[in-house]
Chains A and B, each alone.
Chain A
Amino acid sequence: MLFFSFFKTLVDQEVTVELKNDIEIRGTLKTVDQYLNLKLDNVICLNEDKYPHMQSVKNLFIRGSTVRYVHMSSNTVDCTLLQDASRREAMAQSAK
């Protein structure tokens, strides 16, 4: 659940989502759920001539399982904190 919490802190930030089929979409992250499905507002598709139907899309729901990368501004992430938290969670998991 750590990355779910992490994505919740990114709500209202601008992110770029790269899907497994190479579509890149930039937009404001609106919601995220436990499957890391994402909802973006004010979307622009970065390779729009390849996917012309994306031009008139206002907001987008993306299923988490089709996402390859989420790019975000480095000042929105505290990497040390995230690394620390990941380790703690891994330790808590293995202790069970």
Chain B
Amino acid sequence: MAEPGPNVEDLYLESYAFTTAAAIVGSVDRKIFVLMRDGRKLFGILRTFDQFANLVLQDAVERIYLNDENDDNLSPQRYSEAYRGVFMIRGENVVMMGELDIDTEDDHLEKLQKIPFPEAETELKARQAAKIKTELAKSKTLLAKGLINDFVKSDLY
């Protein structure tokens, strides 16, 4: 893999000023992480993309972080990983994507306990189902008062 010069991004920015493509082009062939709307966190090498932020990742790994209590405000104590290979992501499902520092990307995992993926997935699914249930109940209560709850079932990030 040829390392692009430091000014590749600037070169593109000149011709594509303020486009989606210009924002992503600098991360091609780099290790990135993608947070998706369904809550999945994917780590892999960005190989290609387009103006909608559709992305293709190579050697993608999906990672789940879990904390011990069912409380969104706690920091995670456990994690799990599954190899996914090539992953094509439709742009509308992307929440954010960031370039990773490959020297430090695994540092935070040392403090966490690794658990088997099926176990983590089952627990996560149960929590998400519980969240959907409480949010839908909340929407119903708010709607009765003429208020809208900003929650969509597919938004679990």
A30 to B18, CA, bound (A): 9
A interface, size bucket: 20 to 34
Q: Which of A49, A53, A55, A58 has the most CB of B within 10 A?
A: A53
A66 to B52, CA, bound (A): 14
Q: Shortest beta-carbon distance, A92 to chain B, in Å?
A: 22
The 8 Å CB contact of B108, one of A33, A52, A59, A62, is A52
Q: Shortest beta-carbon distance, B111 to chain A, in Å?
A: 8
With A21-B157, A31-B18, A50-B73 in contact, is A55–B104 under 8 Å at CB?
yes
Inter-subunit contact A61/B97 (CB<8 Å): yes
Inter-subunit contact B96/A62 (CB<8 Å): yes
Please list the residues of chain B having a beta carbon within 8 angstroms of any beta carbon in chain A. 13, 17-20, 22-24, 26-27, 33, 37, 41, 43, 53, 63, 65, 72-76, 91, 94-101, 103-105, 107-108, 112, 150, 155, 157
Please list the residues of chain A having a beta carbon within 8 angstroms of any beta carbon in chain B. 4, 8, 19-21, 30-35, 37, 39, 43, 49-50, 52-63, 66
Q: List 28 A-B contacts (CB under 8 A).
A: A19-B96, A21-B155, A21-B157, A31-B17, A31-B22, A33-B22, A37-B20, A37-B23, A50-B72, A50-B73, A50-B74, A52-B65, A53-B41, A55-B107, A56-B100, A56-B103, A56-B108, A57-B33, A57-B101, A58-B100, A59-B27, A59-B98, A59-B99, A61-B23, A61-B53, A62-B95, A63-B53, A66-B157
